[in-house]
Structure 1
Amino acid sequence: MESAALQPSPNPSYPPLFHIPSHHTSPSPPSPSHLPNIQIPLLDLHHLDLTQLTTACKEVGLFRLANHGVPSDLSTQLMDQAKELLSLSFESKKASLSHPVAYFWGTPAVKLSVKNLNWLEGLHVPLGQISSGGGDLRLGGCGSSLSSFIYLVDEYGKHMARIARVLFDALRADLKLDSEQLTSYLSEFDGTFRVYRYPCCPDVSNYFGMEAHTDSSVLSIVNQDNVGGLQVLQDSTWFNVTPIPDTLIVNLGDMMQAISGDEYKSVEHRVLANRDTERISLCYFAFPVEDSVIVSSKYKPFAYKDFKAQVQEDIKTTGSKEGLRRFRIGNSS
């Protein structure tokens, strides 16, 4: 009689629900190999071609960025430090990480519960609330210092803010922005930084790493590892975004689409779950000033803080994000 195959021991750093998946009814995710790879524009930040940039914003909603000036050793150190924190036990992370580094799991953001469980966990840092050398913060009784992580996040965030400002300023003429809008529509140093870890998933046919969504940001900058799994929706077809070393992925969010009067695309994207290999990514999100009022030919004037509040209310009541549709001229809901 053959003995039953031994099951791997549950990873104590994973949320308990990730050990034994419950019944799930969302559409079955496809295999990445069954979908085509998308060829997206590759832009050089130091020799920025404005025609290529505006074309990418209008036709695709995302692009790769090379020669961006982010030191590769900074990205590597930050990923390593994030992995160390996320490898701590789930109970330690949940009990001890709250400010300024918050721990979350099962949803793409903190304090929101989406309709379907996302097979992810991560760290959330409001960049406006940290500064270099911000004290010797420690993770409860685990003895792991957060100081180096916060320092690295601060340094990395400055690079992200620089990149966001260069790109946004370059689009000024095409977006027809005045000096006040140029400042209020992008508050780059008050951006949000998140680390996403996608644990190994034993049931990839029934779970997504992150379900399909658009970002609420002006723009988002993604620094992914070499595992893959990121996909974008173009012309009703999902495409794989293949990782390329030393490049960043920049995707536009809802605020950029509103600012442009729908000329630019807030690209819908998702992440597939992986059975055998963890995936990790560093993500920066740039938003408008909270009180800034976005004026657009296609949308009712709205403050970013009101958009954010509406998104949170929609997710709370329905489990899904309604997004820009709520603010479109002619929409009565």
Structure 2
Amino acid sequence: MNFESYPPPFRQPPQNSYSENYTTSHTSTALQDSDFIPTIDLQCLNQLDNKLEDACKNWGLFRLVNHGVPPTLLSQLQDHAKKLFSLSFESKQALFTSPLSYFWGTPALSPSGTALLKRSQDINWVEGLNVPLGQLSQIQPQDFTLASFRVLLEEYRKHLARVARALFDSMLKNLNLDTIESKSNLSESNGSLRVYRYPYYSNADSAWGMDVHTDSSVLSILNQDEVGGLEVLKDDQWFTVKPIPNTLIVNLGDMMQAISDDEYKSVKHRVKVNKYKERLSICYFVFPEEGSVIRSLKYKPFTYSDFQAQVQQDIKTLGHKVGLDRFKLITND
């Protein structure tokens, strides 16, 4: 293992062990079998409206099959990502420059692209690369692997934009929302992509690859490798999301919950660290168009920019994301 590729804090166990309260609060719930995760066939959306609706209401997450993304493209993206992350930490810092952003230690990307941490034990065992897909043409890398990766991402963006639009339109139909009026609530062509690497850690029970959170997106579409670790919360129980080749994992984010008036759920999820193997995942996030106003019976009108600014402010001042609760309408019920 080339430990020089890891950010310095990941090259050895942390100096201070995790507090008892922190560890207990994240490991107290027993995990359940992953066979219950719903599966949706993209080619049969019109025939499976009830199944998709049930998944969105009850889980906020599902496994997607027959998505039309070539298996070779999925595997090539994984291979190129592994090569890029195997570079030395210093090389990655120099290579991943604007519009790319390199980060580590936190799932929430700060304006400077560095970890926002209140305490050393809050660090997440993860490093990542953020790629704004609408700015791919601005990436002019000298490194051959990164140049090849950009070409693959151009193709991947087209496939994921198609998948996201098909799913979103089907969800709007199930919610009886006007597709034309709601079109600006999804800007599939300008999504972002994050590549995550989770280093293995022998003391895995005392660290998280990514702590419990919800995504801020409309939809998030995950391509994960063969190393498990993703867990989803349902009915106060944690379910593992088993890696299955040539399938994608789709989870709903905060924007979709607001659009649906809380009919659909922005699912809480987390990532466990593996004791023996690194884990790599590639996630596509799709958001509303810039300036598009989310109008809901449950929330004050807001744009995604309003939402993200509030999230960054809360992370800066509180050390964690508050999310949709900041925008909830106060009722007398």
Q: Which residue does 1:22 correspond to in 2?
A: 15
**2:7 pairs with 1:11:** no
Preserved contact between residue 126 and residue 192 of structure 1 (Cα < 8 Å):
yes
Residue 146 of structure 1 aligns to a residue in which SS?
helix
Structure 1 residues 138 and 124, CA gap change in structure 2 (3 angstroms)? same
Structure 1 residues 152 and 31, CA gap change in structure 2 (3 angstroms)? farther
Superposition pairs of residues 137-176 of structure 1, within 5 angstroms: 137-139=141-143, 144-176=144-176
**Aligned AA for 1:36?**
Q
**2:46 pairs with 1:77:** no
Q: Deviation per CA, 1:38-87, whole angstroms, max 9, x where unpaired?
A: 31211110111111111111111111110000001101111111111110
Structure 1 residues 114 and 154, CA gap change in structure 2 (3 angstroms)? farther
TM-score (norm 1): 0.90
1:202: Cα distance to partner? 2.9
Instruction: Identify the structure with the greater helix proportion.
Output: 2
Q: Which residue does 2:123 correspond to in 1?
A: 117
**Aligned AA for 2:15?**
S
Q: Which residue does 1:35 correspond to in 2?
A: 31
Preserved contact between residue 194 and residue 282 of structure 1 (Cα < 8 Å):
yes
**Aligned AA for 1:40?**
I
Preserved contact between residue 220 and residue 251 of structure 1 (Cα < 8 Å):
yes
Residue 3 of structure 2 aligns to a residue in which SS?
coil
Q: Deviation per CA, 1:114-160, whole angstroms, max 9, x where unpaired?
A: 551010111110011114xx675125xxxx54211111111111111
Q: Which residue does 1:290 correspond to in 2?
A: 290
Q: Deviation per CA, 1:244-275, whole angstroms, max 9, x where unpaired?
A: 12111100000000000110010000000111
Q: Which residue does 2:133 correspond to in 1?
A: 127
1:190: Cα distance to partner? 0.7
Preserved contact between residue 49 and residue 174 of structure 2 (Cα < 8 Å):
no
Preserved contact between residue 136 and residue 145 of structure 1 (Cα < 8 Å):
no
Preserved contact between residue 126 and residue 198 of structure 2 (Cα < 8 Å):
yes
**Aligned AA for 1:126?**
P
1:330: Cα distance to partner? 1.2
Q: Identity, % of aligned pairs? A: 56
Q: Deviation per CA, 1:170-190, whole angstroms, max 9, x where unpaired?
A: 122233333443321000111
Preserved contact between residue 83 and residue 145 of structure 2 (Cα < 8 Å):
no
Q: Deviation per CA, 1:1-48, whole angstroms, max 9, x where unpaired?
A: xxxxxxxx771000110123132332255499x621231211110111
235-244 or 9-18: bigger deviation = 9-18
**2:91 pairs with 1:95:** no
113-122 or 255-264: bigger deviation = 113-122
The separation in 2 between residues aligned to 1:76 and 1:298, in whole angstroms, is 41
**Aligned AA for 1:235?**
D
Q: Choose which of 44, 57, 73 in structure 2 pairs with 1:47.
A: 44
Residue 124 of structure 1 aligns to a residue in which SS?
strand
Residue 246 of structure 1 aligns to a residue in which SS?
coil
Q: Deviation per CA, 1:169-222, whole angstroms, max 9, x where unpaired?
A: 112223333344332100011111011110111321211000000000001001
The separation in 2 between residues aligned to 1:135 and 1:180, in whole angstroms, is 33
Runs of 4+ in 1 over 3 A off after TM superposition: 28-32
**2:268 pairs with 1:272:** no
322-331 or 254-263: bigger deviation = 322-331
The separation in 1 between residues aligned to 2:66 and 2:169, in whole angstroms, is 18
1:109: Cα distance to partner? 3.6
Unaligned runs of at least 5 residues, structure 1: 1-8
Preserved contact between residue 258 and residue 296 of structure 1 (Cα < 8 Å):
yes
Preserved contact between residue 175 and residue 259 of structure 1 (Cα < 8 Å):
no
9-18 or 38-47: bigger deviation = 9-18
The separation in 2 between residues aligned to 1:67 and 1:18, in whole angstroms, is 38
83-92 or 10-19: bigger deviation = 10-19
Q: Aligned pairs, how many?
A: 316
TM-score (norm 2): 0.90
